[in-house]
Structure 1
Amino acid sequence: MRAPADLVKVLVADDQTLFRTGLARMLSSDRRVEVVGQARDGEEAIEQALAAKPNVVLMDLQMPRVTGVEATRRLVQEIPGLRVLALSAYADKAMVGEALASGAVGFVDKDVSFEDILDRILSIAPASATGLKRVRAKLSHRELHVLRQVADGLSNKQIARRLGISEKTVRNHLSRVFNKLGATNRTEAVMHAMRAGLVTA
């Protein structure tokens, strides 16, 4: 069990009151999490995060006053080590890409279960994931090699051909990489690896 100091501090930023308060209430029921604030828009998210210094911010991308993308950009610059998990009911690839480029470490669709959101929070939080400095130790040599091919833009088929393995083996390696990095897709995995200095843009 975590000591109180090891609780993952979470800020929930979403302009939909029912979703925001409901999610905050459910997160508060977990012994590993402490909800340190709720924000109705990007401006409130920035103000509250600077005051409460959360480990993780759940950031809705489409909010009034200041967008989630802009709030993410400003917060990751102001708070070292902050993890921002983007939220949206609409998986707009362009917007998700902007959020990741602005510093978000991942994206979660609002349609997923609460357990999925909680798992993502715990996997990316510095206190539970031990930070990105240990990513290299988590990955095997082959997994890291495959991840670097993904960062180069190669498809599974191209990676299989280059490494002399089957596509199924490539998929298996990527599945383990996603699990170890707390990523749900290739883009998130590459972003994690870039922040850990394992791959370059």
Structure 2
Amino acid sequence: MSETREITVLLADDHEVVREGLRLALLRSPHIRVVGEAPDGETAVTLAERRRPDVVIMDLRMPEMDGIEATEEIVRRVPDAKVLIFTAYSERALLQRGLESGARGYILKEASHETLLRAIEKVAAGETFVDPALMSSLTVGKDGSDVLTHREREILQLLAEGMSNADVATQLFISPETVKSHVRHILTKLEAETRTQAVAIALREAMID
């Protein structure tokens, strides 16, 4: 994705101080523009329909309609808007629910400014991003090798961290076509339709860390 392309962002969090902090942080990036703020899930859905942002930064725990429900509604009503879950909670079950709700990414509130920007840029480009700090805190399952090969798990891990096929190819010193072939095999083995769904399944079954 071109660095000069503007990314419009909607902030959804029930704490005004968090929204203000995010807004001020994003002002430092000239290619990112905040187009709205919502204190709850219902308002987030309404604003997403009205403002059509590229990315919605979504808190999970909010009054009335929570972040999971709001994400599902936004994905259904505004499919071009990509949701990035932004939360203090790092439980695997919440991560899996967030990704299965249609969110493109999951980042912890303690993440650095650089990680936040990378997450926004990745999900805006239609890629998956899971906070590296969260990924490293999860435990690798014992049965992952029964389903996926070591190389397939390695590739899926990199995809979960927000890398594109080209990035993975460069990282592993293999061709992009080889990466595509592995991704096809991963989707088939996990009975997943998309890479995001494959990541959610792999996290749920502890196939990747």
Asked whether the 8 Å contact 2:14–2:40 carries over to 1, the reply is yes
Identity %: 33
Distance 1:29 1:101, change over 3 A: same
CA separation in 2, counterparts of 1:26 and 1:197?
Answer: 27
Paired residues of 2:9 and 2:53 also in contact (CA < 8 A)? yes
Residues 76, 28 of structure 1: CA spacing in aligned structure 2 closer, same or farther, 3 A cutoff? same
Offset at residue 119 of structure 1 (A): 0.8
Q: Cα offset for 1:78? A: 0.4
Tell me what 1:82 maps to: 81
Given candidates 113, 137, 144, the residue that maps to 1:154 is: 144
Aligned residue in 1 for 2:60: 61
Distance 1:76 1:158, change over 3 A: closer
User: Aligned equivalents of 1:99 and 1:179: distance in 2?
Assistant: 16
Moved more, 57-66 or 26-35: 26-35
Deviation for aligned residue 1:36? 0.4
- Please name the residue that 1:34 is paired with: 33
SS at match of 1:180: coil
TM-score under structure 1 length normalisation: 0.67
Is the aligned partner of 1:115 residue 2:98? no
What amino acid is aligned across from residue 36 of structure 2 in structure 1?
G
Output the CA distance in 1 between the equivalents of 2:113 and 2:196: 31
More helix by percentage: 1
1:1-201 correspondence runs (5 A): 6-125=5-124, 129=125, 131=126, 154-155=144-145, 159-160=149-150, 171=154, 173-174=155-156, 176-177=158-159, 178-181=161-164, 194-195=193-194
- C-alpha offsets along residues 56-88 of structure 1, whole Å, 9 cap, x if unaligned? 000000000110000000000001222101111
CA distance in 1, matches of 2:13, 2:90: 16
* Structure 1 consecutive aligned stretches of length 4 or more whose deviation exceeds 4 Å: 173-176, 196-199
Shift of 1:174: 4.9
The count of corresponding residues between Structure 1 and Structure 2 is: 162
2:163 aligned partner, one-letter code = K
Q: Distance in 2 between matches of 1:197 and 1:66?
A: 24
Instruction: Give me the whole-angstrom Cα distance separating, in 2, the residues matched to 1:121 and 1:89.
Output: 17
Match of 2:168 in 1: none
RMSD: 3.5
